[in-house]
Amino acid sequence: MNRWGKSIGAVLLAGSLMIGGMGLSEGFKGPQTAYADEVQKNIVNVVGKGELSIKPDIAYLSIGVSTTADTAQEAQKGTAGKIAKLTALFKTTWGVADKDIQSTQFNVQPNYTYTEKDGQKVKGYNAQHTLQVSYRDLTKVGQLLDAASTAGANNIGNVRFAIEDPSAFEAQVIDKAMQNADVKAAAIAKAAKRGLGQVVTVIQNDDGNHPVVYAEAAMQKASMDSAAGSSVEPGEVKVTTLLNVTYELK
C-alpha cells in the first residue's frame, strides 16, 4: 500500500474511534476535514502547454456573388445564374465534390435612397449568395480564386487554411503538454526544497478552438497585376492544448 493508502486508512481508523454515540456521518466530519487540509498543503498545481506546427491540408474558400437589379426577382435571378455557373466550374474543372460546396449566406435586400422632398424610397434590390468551397490542392488555391473571379464571383473573402482531422495529432500535443507540466512542477518543487511525487489530477482545458490560420495577409500581398494571378501561401497551422495538472509534493 502506498503512502496515500496508509494515510486514508489512518483517517478511517481515527473516525471509527470517535464515533461513540454519534451518527456515522457526524463521526467522520472532523477527520475528513483534517485529511483534506493535509492534502491541500502538499500539492502543486501547474498548467502545461503543448503545441505543434503543422502544414495545413485543406483550405476553406469564401466565394460569393452580389447582384443589383430593379426588382428583387431580377436580382435573385441574376445571382442564381452566376452561382450555378460557379458551381459547375468548381465541379467540372476543379474536381470539387458536391459535399465540399456549401451555401453559407443568401439574402435579398432593398436599396434605399433618401431626399427631403420624397423621404425614404426603395431604389433597386441587392441579392447576395456566398459559397464555402473546401479545397485540398493548396498549390492551386490562387488559380481557383482567379478562375472564380473570371466566372463572375465578385465577393471573395479570406481563405482559411486548416487541418482537416486535428484529432490525428491529439496524442502528440497532449504528450508535449504533459512534458511541459512536468518541467514546471519539478522546478517549483526544487525551489521549495521539496520532492515531486505522483500526479493527483489532470484536466484538459479545451476551449473549442480549431487549428486554423487566416490567409488575409497573404492575399493582400498578391500582385496587383491581374495577369500575374493571385498568390496565396498556406504557411503552417498550430495545434495546441492546455493541461491543468496537480502533483503531490513529498
What pLDDT, on a 0 to 100 scale, did the predictor assign at position 55? 92
Nearest CA to 43 among 185, 222, 151, 215?
185
3-state secondary structure of 2: coil
Average pLDDT of the segment spanning 108-115: 90
Spatial separation of the C-alpha atoms in residues 187 and 199, rounded to whole Å: 15
Count H helices and E strands in the chain, helices first: 6, 8
Q: How confident is the model at residue 237 (pLDDT cuts 50, 70, 90)?
A: confident
Residues 6+ apart with CB under 8 A from 204: 174, 241, 242, 243, 244
E strand spans, 92-176: 101-115, 119-135, 155-162
Q: Residue 173 pLDDT more than 90? A: yes
Nearest CA to 95 among 150, 149, 146, 133?
133
Q: Tell me the β-bridge partners of 135.
A: 59
What pLDDT, on a 0 to 100 scale, did the predictor assign at position 247? 97
What does pLDDT average to over the chain?
Answer: 81
The residue ranking higher by pLDDT, 91 or 234, is: 91
| Owner of C-alpha cell 456549401 | 102
pLDDT more than 90, % of the chain: 61
Spatial separation of the C-alpha atoms in residues 116 and 191, rounded to whole Å: 76
**pLDDT tens readout for residues 197-227:** 999 999 998 654 444 444 443 444 343 344 4
What pLDDT, on a 0 to 100 scale, did the predictor assign at position 157? 87
Buried b / exposed e along 42-66 (16+ C-beta atoms within 10 A): eebebebebebebebebbbbbbbbb
| Helix axes 3-19 and 24-40, enclosed angle (nearest 10) | 150
Average pLDDT of the segment spanning 150-158: 92
